[in-house]
Amino acid sequence: MNATFPAHPPSALRASSPLPGEIGGEGTAAPGATVVRIADIGFEAPSALLARHGLELVRVADNAAIPGSYWGEPEAGVIASRVYARADTPVHSLLHEACHLLVADPARRAAIHTDASDSLEEEDATCYLQIVLADAVPGFGRARALADMDAWGYSFRLGSARAWFERDAEDARAFLEARGLLPRPA
């Protein structure tokens, strides 16, 4: 296993993060952490990226509950092929939840509501793909995605998202390559 996971049932796994409500857990940035939110970059580019992959980004009104959010506001939510987010949703969260849908086979994707993770292998692939796709979001990018994942509380056995991605993610990359999910080199 590439990433370090919390001890809770596989159906509730979130890549490499503490349980909800713990310091630095998903939905709660580490004290003093600043992450890029959709308000910082706008909805247009993420919406176009998701559409290229057959997904729909649904904008949720400020302060409204986010449908399908496993970790609660401001985290993105997923229902079938739709990703729900508000302006205060972190971009890394939007990408992570979208990538959960992308790594799920189409039959299972149609039934996904809130809890998208199916296995540790799929969770690792989701993290890897979110990092790769970050480069397709102007104003965000891979370096910022890695920094925001660390700031938000993702934890990897090599100490950082960057170290995991560069030196310990072979299984995740192989999972994505076998399914044709990695973007082709330009």
Give the model confidence (pLDDT) of 48-101 as tens digits.
999 999 999 999 999 999 999 999 999 999 999 999 999 999 999 999 999 999
Distance, CA of 74 to CA of 77 (rounded, Å)? 9
Distance, CA of 42 to CA of 47 (rounded, Å)? 9
Distance, CA of 24 to CA of 10 (rounded, Å)? 20
Domain assignment present for residue 102? The answer is yes
Domain region containing 52: 36-178
Domain assignment present for residue 101? The answer is yes
User: 174: Cβ–Cβ under 8 A, 6 or more apart, which residues?
Assistant: none
Share of the chain above pLDDT 90, in %: 73
Domain assignment present for residue 67? The answer is yes
Domain assignment present for residue 44? The answer is yes
pLDDT of res. 157: 86
- Of the pLDDT bands very low, low, confident and very high (cuts 50, 70, 90), residue 8 is very low
Distance, CA of 103 to CA of 173 (rounded, Å)? 12
In order, the DSSP letters of 36-98 are -BHHHH-SHHHHHHHHHTT-EEEEPPTTS--TT-SS-TTS-EEETTEEEE-TTSBHHHHHHHH
